[in-house]
Structure 1
């Protein structure tokens, strides 16, 4: 008998797995806070205000996740001293690119949490995904093509017919 056949199917979907998904979401929030701290230190003006708002949103989610984990007698994931980032932003364009990258990663992490058995956790994950997608769109207003769907055509400039005085 194989190891997977010995393990009951519910073991993968039970409360322990919900706890692990919560811990994974918490670890992602720690990384997001780190990234936004770096972005905030390298931006100014209106962009810094949006980054600060995102930073505060991720700190609030982090605190909520810690509470959800401890309420389930779990041990919350602790933040790492630093995180590998795809870019260290030196300008607004790179800062925005990193912010969108962070939000897309957060969305993916909460998508996994949305597979929990607990309906309250699924709602929590859906709201967190909505927040992260909204933030990403606020930084870069574009919607990625869903896998398997055709890429939408680029808008073509329309020519306004002109009439010559006659």
Structure 2
């Protein structure tokens, strides 16, 4: 996978995460609402940075879809927490590809994004995984 392809994939994942956190925010309990809002903002920031990175690599940034199919129905705070953890796992997986495809400062930035997603996943799930970003590929 080229750096441009991996960056486009990360951008697409961030678009989906921003959408997903809109759903999370609508269903999350009051005690975790600030955490969901912070994650939503973090993904928006990463999305915007990835748009710039795609342009810097000579590409046209992939657009967000009008809607995304959720992996399950989110009807309550427990479902919102489960979705948030899943979103972070998926984003971490895409960033692991970007780490492999990148060099220099872009690689460090991708590694930082992978780490941030893995930490948020642990917070949402309440437990960790051995290899963040690779767990869903086993």
Structure 2 CA distance, aligned partners of 1:44 and 1:93? 8
Q: Which runs of no fewer than 5 residues in structure 2 stay unpaired?
A: 132-138
Shift of 1:120: 1.7
SS at match of 1:73: coil
Contact residue 15 and residue 64 of structure 2 kept, 8 A:
yes
* Residue among 3, 13, 21 paired with 2:6: 21
Structure 2 equivalent of residue 142 of structure 1? 127
Shift of 1:116: 1.8
Shift of 1:144: 2.7
Moved over 4 A (4+): none
Structure 2 length-normalised TM:
0.89
Tell me how large the CA RMSD over aligned residues is: 1.3
Shift of 1:35: 0.4
- Number of aligned pairs? 131
Q: Which runs of no fewer than 5 residues in structure 1 stay unpaired?
A: 1-11, 147-166
Structure 2 equivalent of residue 108 of structure 1? 93
Q: How does 1:96-135 map to 2 (within 5 A)?
A: 96-135=81-120
More helix by share: 2
Structure 2 CA distance, aligned partners of 1:37 and 1:57? 13
* Residue among 23, 28, 36 paired with 1:51: 36
Is the counterpart of residue 90 in structure 1 residue 75 in structure 2?
yes
Structure 2 equivalent of residue 36 of structure 1? 21
Shift of 1:88: 2.6
Rg larger in structure: 1
Structure 2 CA distance, aligned partners of 1:92 and 1:73? 41
Shift of 1:18: 0.5
Is the counterpart of residue 79 in structure 1 residue 64 in structure 2?
yes
Q: Give the structure, 1 or 2, with the largest relative contact order (CA under 8 Å, sep 6 or more).
A: 2
